[in-house]
A and B are shown apart, each in its own frame.
Chain A
């Protein structure tokens, strides 16, 4: 049991929470602008797939990541078109994206690599070496094992916080989520702001998917995300749509996932199949204890009709 709680637990907790962090911050941007984003799961899947496919074709994980971001932007644009321009039911539109992502990425595995189920291995992202970091007590052992994407993910919380709360774009974005009519009356282009938020959201979710496939395993397999898009959404709600608590929620769910893996390795006497449910159970308990419904953006899910 002592083996379970170790520095490795913290490191793998960070690894496992990273896709959640990227996707949850994507969701945060979209929902703060007033658009519910249930499509994170599908956007992650598309991102994970194109990251591996383009790394396979072009030989560089950087180009794979770039392709994932572009795919995410495209899916985000379609999502925005359905839910902002056409004013479709946002949950239904997102369900469509998730279903298409799940079917299409699974079908394309066979098209691209000739056999179903899983892609061959591609080059993964390497660890970033920071000189002397290894000498730091405790933290050093974590720092020396992080990849570029881990750093990007960890820096995302302060960046998103600054964008949302310290820039005029952030102010406009939040105003669209709280009171689009009022925002429009003072000259905010609500539709354009929502488009940008939803597209950015798709890119971040796709980056989360790319992290899963390119930084963690180096392959794409069918439904590799396994509900992490929804976990990210749960983390966003549990964090009450605020960057720092959302980061905390993602780390909590990531740690639960890591604990589940470590417990298997350490041979804790609990069936492996049951342990798999741990992060989802933690998320459920978190949502059950979540207090107050007033923290969601006031105009979330509400369509804006331009006069």
Chain B
């Protein structure tokens, strides 16, 4: 109950704080929010677009949340997502496999690619003590330039007909559309499945418990015989694998081919998603729905209220700022709770 309250307070706080910034950028905040709401929930198409945007946000949010629960801050989700999308696009277009198997292989390949992309920061963190925030960000830029190169003119994966993209993914590797005539695809089901799996893994398995223990207190974990370095490496790779899946879902479900810069920054928004969702898979799902609304509504926001789409990133940033500042509120609540306990004990 308290958590739901904090979630709502954070969202409202960020939206209120964004209002003067929207005004500075030259628009009316109220009509901006009306356009956001109308664009995201006001029609069948809007609702579908909200779910479509929430799908990668949920998957990437899980990637960030898993890393955070293990005491790591994976800011490289955007790069891992791009690598995942690229691999899924390549497997989908270049490999021939029976329907059903093809799509699974493409997603698994993407997950593997994301995990390998996260392996370098994981090893540097575990064995060199280099902060993963720096290394994952460096690898983001490497991922951007490698992926741009591969589909640049004359690049090894570029399509013959479409610049800055791979060939179309074969029908056997498609994630089917599930709500005609909208673009909603099976990816949303995959994302919800991953969400449930993450919840089960974190709270109902020994490995998940170990992961959270390392995140909460690595020294204590070490003294309890947990191989902290091993957990660090596995956590980071799991996080990268989830991000890779998100890329695959976008490519196989929505775009049908890998496009250069297909992600409008889902990997970065997902940091806000995970923080707002308090690193719990269920919270992350709720937060992904909220940010999905923002993304879906941003189209109408730009068209109708003349507010730049970039303001959505500002709102993400404000959510993160409120999460950061929320510790004060949490501290107050904690201290008042402990005061009450003491009074009860004494009285």
> Is there an interface contact between A271 and B155, defined as CB atoms closer than 8 Å?
yes
> Is there an interface contact between A271 and B313, defined as CB atoms closer than 8 Å?
no
| One of A104, A231, A277 near B310 (C-beta < 8 A) | A104
| One of A97, A226, A237, A274 near B134 (C-beta < 8 A) | A237
Interface residue A148 (Cβ < 8 Å from any Cβ of B) = no
For A106-118 the 0/1 string (1 means CB < 8 A from B) is 1110110000100
The verdict on A280 contacting B138 (CB below 8 Å), with A87-B327, A106-B313, A287-B124 known, is yes
For A85-99 the 0/1 string (1 means CB < 8 A from B) is 011110111011111
> Is there an interface contact between A276 and B145, defined as CB atoms closer than 8 Å?
yes
Interface residue B75 (Cβ < 8 Å from any Cβ of A) = yes
> Is there an interface contact between B142 and A287, defined as CB atoms closer than 8 Å?
no
> Inside 8 A of A103's CB, which chain B residues have their CB?
310-317
Interface residue B149 (Cβ < 8 Å from any Cβ of A) = yes
> Inside 8 A of A244's CB, which chain B residues have their CB?
none
> Is there an interface contact between A100 and B142, defined as CB atoms closer than 8 Å?
no
- Nearest B residue to A273, CB-CB: B149
> Inside 8 A of A92's CB, which chain B residues have their CB?
275, 320, 323-324
Q: Which of A112-143 contact B (CB under 8 A)?
A: 116
Provide the main secondary structure of the chain A interface.
Answer: helix
> Is there an interface contact between A82 and B142, defined as CB atoms closer than 8 Å?
no
Q: How far is the CA of A104 from the CA of B308 in the complex (A)?
A: 9
Q: How far is the CA of A110 from the CA of B318 in the complex (A)?
A: 21
Q: How far is the CA of A288 from the CA of B123 in the complex (A)?
A: 9
Interface residue B129 (Cβ < 8 Å from any Cβ of A) = yes
> Is there an interface contact between A104 and B327, defined as CB atoms closer than 8 Å?
no
Q: How far is the CB of A113 from chain B (nearest CB, A)?
A: 12
> Is there an interface contact between A111 and B25, defined as CB atoms closer than 8 Å?
yes
For B314-347 the 0/1 string (1 means CB < 8 A from A) is 1111101101110110000000000000000000
Interface residue B252 (Cβ < 8 Å from any Cβ of A) = no
> Is there an interface contact between B325 and A82, defined as CB atoms closer than 8 Å?
yes
> Is there an interface contact between A281 and B142, defined as CB atoms closer than 8 Å?
yes
Interface residue A268 (Cβ < 8 Å from any Cβ of B) = no
| One of A38, A93, A106, A226 near B321 (C-beta < 8 A) | A93
Q: Which of B123-174 contact A (CB under 8 A)?
A: 124, 128-131, 133-135, 137-142, 144-146, 148-149, 152, 154-155
> Is there an interface contact between B137 and A227, defined as CB atoms closer than 8 Å?
yes
| One of B124, B141, B323 near A288 (C-beta < 8 A) | B124
Q: Which of A197-246 contact B (CB under 8 A)?
A: 222, 226-227, 230-231, 233-234, 237
Nearest 4 Cβ contacts at the A-B interface: A103-B313, A99-B317, A100-B317, A293-B129
B residues neighboring A (CB under 8 Å): 21, 24-26, 73, 75, 120, 124, 128-131, 133-135, 137-142, 144-146, 148-149, 152, 154-155, 268, 271-272, 275, 307-308, 310-318, 320-321, 323-325, 327-328
Residue pairs across A and B with Cβ atoms less than 8 A apart, 28 shown, are A86-B328, A92-B324, A96-B318, A96-B320, A96-B321, A96-B324, A99-B316, A100-B313, A102-B268, A103-B314, A103-B315, A106-B308, A107-B25, A107-B310, A110-B25, A227-B141, A230-B137, A237-B131, A271-B154, A274-B145, A274-B149, A275-B145, A276-B141, A276-B145, A277-B142, A287-B128, A288-B128, A293-B128
